[in-house]
Amino acid sequence: MTTAALARRLRAPTTARVLQPLPALADRLIVEVAAVQDVRAGITCLMDELRRQGLGRVEWWMPGADGALRLEISDGDGYGPRSEIPLGPIGALVMVGEGAPELTLPVTRVVPLLRRLWTEEQLAKHVALLARKNEALEDFAALVAHELKSPLYAALRHAGPSSAVEEALAVVDSILEVARTESAPGNSAPAARCLEEALNDLGQIDADVVGHLPPTLPMPPAALRLLLRNLLGNAVSAGARHIRVSSVSSDGRWTLLIDDDGVGLEAPNRYATGSRLGFNLCRRLVARFGGALELKPRPRGGTRAALVFAGGCA
């Protein structure tokens, strides 16, 4: 098509709202989308520009888990001709308005760039997933060594080691369960039962443990039980006689608190005796589920272990 013919076409009533010559618009869209970091930002940038070109409505439809397209983002409420541009695994872009058919060509030129962004995002997610799995395997090996040390030593000291060996095997099973657990929306743990199971895992301890917990906490039960067992064990190792386990939720996050009256963090080599490895692994486990674990001295002595997560308690 000649330049003059294109100019006449752009002046036609059906495309009078398109503000920029189509070849120049295609180049501009490519430059703008190339500057973003992810597909969602690229689609949003594209939709904003198309609305500036006079389209009444722009929609982005994404494939759901069943493969069916679902509306992801929409901008505008106009009516008119509809043009659908397939985006491959990203879904489809729908343009609504008098200029939609003419804008199909420049938008189509941006599709390969959007698909490349999508591929890069998927590769990055897979790399991150592999990294988490490798980290979980490293944690598993170290945690098994740490958790099995005491029961296996007990097995060596006693004439009848079967109970200690059974305890060691139960620990392995619980660690395996945590290693297989992935963080996912909807995961929740019965808090009181996890605390009771953690205390059963520890056996007879010389400390009173009081729990003030909500019905559920938003993390996998196996992970919560393992964290409680290790943190309660740390408190007992620090000479605590009274331990309080509680939870607070505010400002879109929840915090699990383990307060004890042990020797505290200032006593050299006391709080971490025999458990520093376990604490570091607990910290990494908490991070795996999107949280943070910190130790703080209490004003009147003892230690507070705080696990902070996004989201609220049930």
Q: What's at 120, amino acid-wise?
A: E
Q: Is 152 helix (H, G, I), strand (E, B) or coil?
A: helix
**Helix or strand (DSSP H, E) at 69:** strand 69-76
**Residue (of 25, 187, 32) closest to 95 by Cα position:** 25
Torsional sign, CA 38, 43, 48, 53: positive
**143-162 burial, b if ≥16 CB within 10 A, otherwise e?**
bbebbbeebbeebeeeeeee
In whole angstroms, give the CA distance from residue 42 to residue 29: 10
- Structure confidence at residue 249 (pLDDT): 85
Torsional sign, CA 21, 25, 28, 30: negative
Q: Is 283 helix (H, G, I), strand (E, B) or coil?
A: helix
Q: What's at 71, amino acid-wise?
A: L
In whole angstroms, give the CA distance from residue 21 to residue 117: 26
In whole angstroms, give the CA distance from residue 224 to residue 129: 22
Torsional sign, CA 6, 8, 11, 12: negative
Question: What are the φ and ψ backbone dihedral angles of 238, each rounded to 5 degrees?
Answer: -85, 5
**Helix or strand (DSSP H, E) at 95:** strand 92-96
- Structure confidence at residue 228 (pLDDT): 92
Residue ranges of domains in the chain, CATH in brackets: 3-109 (no CATH), 183-314 (3.30.565.10)
Per-residue pLDDT of the chain (314 residues; tens, 9 = 90+): 444 443 444 343 444 444 556 778 888 888 888 888 889 999 999 999 999 888 999 999 999 888 899 999 999 988 888 999 999 999 999 999 988 888 999 999 999 999 999 998 888 888 887 777 777 666 666 666 666 666 666 666 665 656 666 666 666 666 666 666 655 555 788 999 999 999 998 888 989 999 999 898 888 888 898 889 889 988 888 889 999 999 998 877 889 999 999 888 765 555 554 445 567 778 878 887 788 998 888 888 899 999 998 765 55
Q: What's at 36, amino acid-wise?
A: V
- Structure confidence at residue 137 (pLDDT): 66
How many residues are there in the chain? Answer: 314
Q: Is 210 helix (H, G, I), strand (E, B) or coil?
A: strand
In whole angstroms, give the CA distance from residue 121 to residue 40: 11
